[in-house]
């Protein structure tokens, strides 16, 4: 009986060694450390040939070059300049509006420098965006159009599958048209679709739930079985009086 207890006790240690790494991996995935937040002070000073600062890494190189070319041509034709900044996570308490305002004032510290400038900022964690413009640009890019660009032209492709490249190309086309004095092409048309969702559990959810149940079950078994065996062993031992 003592030999059986020793075997069960060694099995318990074996199970713990086997399960512990799995538990650590699961906890690490659940409580992964978030990416560092971004503040205005972390954005570098503006260079004259910089039109896009893609810290969120959501725009392809091809589209970044295409959009930058369109903004450069707009600046040459009208004297009005547009920049896009993407960040993955904002500092605690910061909003796209406050961040855009702070960066706008950092890059263009005087009203004269701000007059012909526009800046679009998006936080890719929440997909919230804001546009700040100078007084000269607001004669064509009004507050209502700027809001529509941020909420609809940018927002619709993002709400339909995080299509960042399509969103920024559409934003570029609309901003260039409006700021250069052309008719506003307006936001994209939204086609409503009716989707019937099933009530079945997704395969990946089922697999994750089963894996968790197995891990917990094995951990409990590795602890309870040796204790129960030892308890039974003690009961079956002859008493001192006998």
The CA-atom distances, in angstroms, between 79 and each of 12, 52, 176, 179, 186 are 75, 17, 12, 10, 23
Q: What angle do CA 57, 99, 166 make, to 5 degrees?
A: 35
What does R_g of the chain's alpha carbons equal in angstroms?
Answer: 30
pLDDT tens per residue across span 149-165: 999 999 999 999 999 99
CA–CA distance from 140 to each of 74, 203, 204 (Å)? 14, 51, 49
For the chain, which ranges sit under pLDDT 70?
A: 1-36, 191-216, 218-219, 221, 224, 226-242
Q: Which two tokens stand for residue 242?
A: 């006998």
Predicted pLDDT at 7: 59
Q: What phi, psi does 130 have (nearest 5°)?
A: -150, 150
Alpha helices in the chain (DSSP H): 2-30, 61-78, 96-107, 111-114, 143-148, 155-159, 164-179, 203-236
The predicted pLDDT at position 32 comes to: 41
Per the structure block, which two tokens stand in for 187? 């936001």
For the sheet with 81-87, list strands across it.
Answer: 52-54, 81-87, 117-123, 128-133
Whole-number Cα distances in Å, 97 to 63, 123, 219, 240: 25, 10, 49, 81
pTM over 0.75: no
Per residue in 43-91, pLDDT (tens digit) is 999 998 999 999 999 999 999 999 999 999 999 999 999 999 999 999 8
CA 153 – CA 174 distance, rounded (Å): 8
**Whole-number pLDDT of residue 37:** 77
Q: How many CB atoms lie within 10 A of CB 143?
A: 10
């Amino acid at each position: 009986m003592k030999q059986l207890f020793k075997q069960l006790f060694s099995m318990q240690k074996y199970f713990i060694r086997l399960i512990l790494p799995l538990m650590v991996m699961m906890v690490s995935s659940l409580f992964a450390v978030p990416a560092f937040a971004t503040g205005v002070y972390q954005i570098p000073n503006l260079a004259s040939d910089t039109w896009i600062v893609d810290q969120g890494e959501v725009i392809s190189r091809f589209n970044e070059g295409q959009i930058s070319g369109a903004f450069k041509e707009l600046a040459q034709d009208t004297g009005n300049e547009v920049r896009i900044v993407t960040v993955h996570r904002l500092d605690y308490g910061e909003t796209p509006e406050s961040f855009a305002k702070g960066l706008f004032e950092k890059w263009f510290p005087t009203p004269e420098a701000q007059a012909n400038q526009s800046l679009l900022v998006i936080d890719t964690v929440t997909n919230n965006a804001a546009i700040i413009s100078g007084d000269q640009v607001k004669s064509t890019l009004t507050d209502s159009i700027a809001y529509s660009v941020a909420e609809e032209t940018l927002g619709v492709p993002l709400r339909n599958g995080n299509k960042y490249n399509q969103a920024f190309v559409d934003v570029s086309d609309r901003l260039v048209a409006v700021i250069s004095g052309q008719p506003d092409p307006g936001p994209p048309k939204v086609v409503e679709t009716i989707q019937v969702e099933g009530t079945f559990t997704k395969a990946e959810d089922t697999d994750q739930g089963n894996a968790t149940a197995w891990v917990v079950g094995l951990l409990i078994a590795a602890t309870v079985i040796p204790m129960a065996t030892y308890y039974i062993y003690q009961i079956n031992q002859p008493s001192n009086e006998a």
